Amino acid sequence: MPIPDLTFLHPPSLYDFRRRATLWGPISDVVPSTPIYDMYPIGFAALSEYLGRHGFETRIVNLAVRMLRSPRFDAEQAIARMRSRAFGIDLHWLPHAQGALEVARIVRERHPETPILFGGFSATYFHEELVRYPQVDYVLRGDSTEEPLRQLLACLRDGRAPDDVPNLTWKDRSGAVHVNPQTYTPENLDHLRPGFRRMVRMVLRQRDLVSCAPFGHWLDYPIMATLTVRGCTQHCAVCGGCAEGHERMSGRARPAFRSPEDLAADVREARRISRGPIFILGELRLAGMDYARRFLRAVRGVPGPFMLEFFWPVDREYAEALADSLPDFFVEFSPDSHDPQVRAALGKHYTNAGIEETVRNCLAVGCRRFDLFFMIGLPQQTAASALETVEYCEHLLQMVNGDRRLVPFTAPLAPFLDPASLAFEQPERFGYRLHCRTLEEHRRALLAPTWKHILSYETEWMDRDTLAATTYEAGRRLNRLKARYGIVSAARAAETEERIERATALMARIDHLLATRSPEEVEQEMLALKGEIDRANTSTVCDKEELDVRARGLPFNLPGLMEVGLGVLWDMVRGRP
């Protein structure tokens, strides 16, 4: 097997989570990852495809998944055995701050001469601080690093200094830091192609399916994601991916869209591999109704479940158009609060009537499920307001006569406030008190014993204790509500209730330890509690499986997958990149 030009490594959020005890609580309850954030960014596939097309061989190793799936997997030995001309580590989501830097340290120790690259939103935001760690050589900045990365790999291959590579922060041999201009911000996503074939090729070449898995249980639940846009037009105060965040990090003045026809082609390609849900990431109406209509025309006839995001309410006409083209559609909608004042402070300027219309419209046209997300830790949100949200969920369920397709969720804004978000940049304006500002402060925070102590912020309205207590109480009330309406079974609700009680008791016990014992004693006691803590760490305030959209029958499209595999093998035999 040829030595890859670049090996992408996806770290766990905390290294080594298997030897430490952390009460993660509900921080990942409403995302597919476990609390160690084993899901790698969708950008890995896009970068691999682009580099492959330009003659560079890449490999993906999801270390987090390998560590999760096997207690015997020795990550340090595996890294020592790897051969690669460069290593690329993602620091997209800030919860990876500790794990990413620790994995880079191990790589540096085992491969002292091999360049180490970083990329992703958080790497971009903290680029100047990040590049000063001894284990980091290069940081690629911005939301579109395919071409800058190609240029950097060409420099490494030819032994040239990367003075001209756009969007690159780097250290030369003397350790001097260079910040190259941010000049590469494509206006559209026409340079991308779906990365699914490249992933199949990687699996065949490496003969290693687990390392390429996007997250731990993907092999049982092969959800596929396609990206409509990089950038956003909206201004949600706690989102680093808002319009202002993109401008700050990528110099992006307006979003870059995938063309609707290319997006439909991506969807068809994804459907050849998986019968599971295809998540269309990004709001189809962001580029205007014409864009949405063109996509819906182009995608009509593709079978199977689709998950669609709404950034604002949906009228009946649009709901009908969706149902017409994608009859098997699921909705993901995040009003975040039932309180219009909180929502407005957050930057979401629509009414409760708009939320209610959206729910009614989508259920009426036959959407398979409507997931409604609320959040705790928002500007102007009190504990009472967060709990009233559960009452509002009951109001909605009554409004739809208990239709069980409507599934509300509540989760904390945790563990960190997004860097580059409006609230991170102007915390006082939004009522936040930040405990962490720098990358190093976030890295250290991840070593704290519980999610409450990891939280990077408090608000004027809720301190850390109140945020945690309110999260558990809201979770408890919502769980009971779902059981009453038959959205979850009595048995599942009882399990969730028990997990909430266990997590609350553990939190109280750890608080007591912290108040009465030395740091060394706390660490020892935490390790003694590890089994109990680990059992309380997933599905705390809701069962993660509530989020899954299971395909009927086999999750993979075996004939399609075989066809893709044979095509890829034929390309490999003919030596095509």
> Interface residues with ligand SF4 (CB under 6 A)?
232, 234, 236, 239, 241-242, 311
Residue 251 CB neighbours (<10 A): 16
Comparison of 7 and 250: residue with beta carbon closer to ligand SF4: 250
Q: Where are the beta strands (DSSP E) in 6-45?
A: 6-10
Taking the complex as a whole, the smallest distance from the CB of residue 334 to ligand SF4 amounts, in Å, to: 7
Comparison of 52 and 415: residue with beta carbon closer to ligand SF4: 415
Taking the complex as a whole, the smallest distance from the CB of residue 249 to ligand SF4 amounts, in Å, to: 13
Comparison of 236 and 397: residue with beta carbon closer to ligand SF4: 236
What is the C-alpha separation between 211 and 199, in angstroms, rounded?
11
> What's the CA dihedral at 453, 456, 458, 462 to 10 degrees?
-60
Comparison of 123 and 242: residue with beta carbon closer to ligand SF4: 242
Taking the complex as a whole, the smallest distance from the CB of residue 167 to ligand SF4 amounts, in Å, to: 21
Report the DSSP beta bridge partners of residue 80. none
What is the C-alpha separation between 246 and 387, in angstroms, rounded?
33
Comparison of 12 and 231: residue with beta carbon closer to ligand SF4: 231
Taking the complex as a whole, the smallest distance from the CB of residue 279 to ligand SF4 amounts, in Å, to: 14
Taking the complex as a whole, the smallest distance from the CB of residue 228 to ligand SF4 amounts, in Å, to: 11
What is the C-alpha separation between 121 and 42, in angstroms, rounded?
13
Comparison of 251 and 560: residue with beta carbon closer to ligand SF4: 251
Comparison of 170 and 257: residue with beta carbon closer to ligand SF4: 257
Comparison of 195 and 240: residue with beta carbon closer to ligand SF4: 240
Choose among 321, 258, 310, 249: nearest CA to 283. Answer: 310
The 8-class DSSP code of residue 553 comes to: S
Taking the complex as a whole, the smallest distance from the CB of residue 476 to ligand SF4 amounts, in Å, to: 27
Taking the complex as a whole, the smallest distance from the CB of residue 375 to ligand SF4 amounts, in Å, to: 10
What is the C-alpha separation between 416 and 71, in angstroms, rounded?
28
What is the C-alpha separation between 204 and 198, in angstroms, rounded?
10
Asked if 334 and 368 touch (Cβ cutoff 8 Å), the reply is no
Taking the complex as a whole, the smallest distance from the CB of residue 290 to ligand SF4 amounts, in Å, to: 20
Comparison of 232 and 264: residue with beta carbon closer to ligand SF4: 232
Alpha helices by DSSP H, listed for 352-489, are 352-364, 383-399, 422-425, 427-430, 439-445, 451-454, 464-484
Comparison of 26 and 282: residue with beta carbon closer to ligand SF4: 282
Taking the complex as a whole, the smallest distance from the CB of residue 285 to ligand SF4 amounts, in Å, to: 11
Asked if 354 and 314 touch (Cβ cutoff 8 Å), the reply is no
Choose among 482, 516, 485: nearest CA to 500. Answer: 482
Taking the complex as a whole, the smallest distance from the CB of residue 241 to ligand SF4 amounts, in Å, to: 4
What is the C-alpha separation between 324 and 567, in angstroms, rounded?
33
Indicate the residue type of 202: M
Comparison of 21 and 239: residue with beta carbon closer to ligand SF4: 239
Q: Which residue has the tokens 């990876």?
A: 96
How far, CA to CA in Å, does 114 sit from each of 82, 96, 109, 551?
11, 22, 10, 43
Asked if 149 and 47 touch (Cβ cutoff 8 Å), the reply is yes
Report the DSSP beta bridge partners of residue 332. 309, 371
Q: Where are the beta strands (DSSP E) in 413-548?
A: 432-434, 457-459
Taking the complex as a whole, the smallest distance from the CB of residue 47 to ligand SF4 amounts, in Å, to: 21
Residue 91 CB neighbours (<10 A): 28
